[in-house]
A and B are shown apart, each in its own frame.
Chain A
């Protein structure tokens, strides 16, 4: 019996071998059959790749490289000297302070909003979702103007603020407020679909096991969305440090006091101080590159978790 089974098996293997011989690349390609079927011819593929590469080189890599080339055009000493200037240091400090306030606040808000939108049904929910998107759809300049209209001298709350000697516009609070507004949606937008997709099952399980709402949130909900959350924070931080338009309107450009890095770069550039301008710009660019690296890592991690979840799910339904 065993012998016969082996014969049948061998015959089958032969047949398969024949099939593979007909199309030797089929065995080496890891892509699925459907993607092979939709593959374009070599000429089309190479043309598309060439166009994309050329575009990237012209509009992305070369400008980025130019930032560093210009920054180092007078040598490393001139480059480093740009950061020893008190105004530059003040700008860096202010940028860090702004991001340091805006990011944690938007983290809190984003988690709260995502939690409430994804887990509960209430009247005005779709309005809230739309409102969260407002900073995305409004021009940053308008975002800045909103605060000038609110807290400026001629603004709605202007006289009251003057009477109490509180300065918001053309001061650090205005810059922080404008940055918070502009970076408002990043964390919430990232978390809402994630929390929605994960459903309520694990939270309900935690409740029946005696966990409080806070324990459920900390021990069950938060760990499940940690990679998405980190991703949102990174993007939020990148935007908070790089924001120009809204901050420009409310800042007043007081050197050493209300200039963030992007504003400082613009002033230097307008004064034809190219090396310091590009030196500070290179710092922002480095920050962006670092952000991208962290972002890629986080994406890779969260993707791994997603595939794990998917496997999880397919095993459950199998």
Chain B
């Protein structure tokens, strides 16, 4: 359990808060490329602040500025985008990519006034079909090119906006034990009640779990019933990538789960998947397939007959900001305690003027992350369950993904038979 003060410190993400200052040292995806196909601007909310994200008409350069114009707070989202910045629609004040005021049409070229006002701006770049932004202090770190976003394959992104604090989603990532209960036992119960076959791969009991600090976060390992430390689940494991991702995958699917802290009580939750099964054949994609997954039904009840829907039930039902003064942690929650320590440690680093964990300052092509390939010892079943029993069941590309994996499986079996 935590004190009221500790819970607030760990969950408040606005400007000037210790967690807000830490989180402002990282790049976040905040929109998709296709959001700008018909309009040049979009209002986005990140870390408790509203921003205008814009794309220049000819050069295709992205920029981000605080939404309120410093003149009289009108929205820049309803402004005019130029190649060298954005102009407020209200009185024409123009801002460049560095936040300098370069024109104030009604002020008769009063340069002294212009230089006194500055707009809050960040950096914006495209990677993997998403627009990423950095709204922290300069110099901005490099945008980390984690493997899933840049590797070859068929990409599929499910997303939804959830009414809960991002930290309770992160704490779920260092809680392996929930898998056998929420996605195993509860799923089986639901299947028996409602008449469907729940996936069996998630029902295996955990015999041992391990948490290890590494350069990108916390590496999580597990030994499941019937397995040993020789299995990928222990030998390789998969990481919580500090401070807002989890890398998972297996059976030819690589996935980054992304939890963007919109504000204290709202999180944009994305499942960014790359499908590249061994021996699979696919056409190059221009952009990932993007769609919203559902998590509440018409009656307002949580939809819990798929893996991520079950997780969402847990995260959202914990409350907008879960009250950690009322929790009772057990031995299996040691990873949760370790994650809180990691946040405190890195808040302190930022306060001391140091770069926090996972800051990338060097140019690079790809950052490979450890992730098991053989998941739960159930390759074919796992790939199919991942697609049909997870948020990908809402993908307009679902059948094509199932066909890709089935075809790759057949090719591998054929090759084995020949050998």
Same assembly: no
Report B's interface with A, CB cutoff 8 A.
none
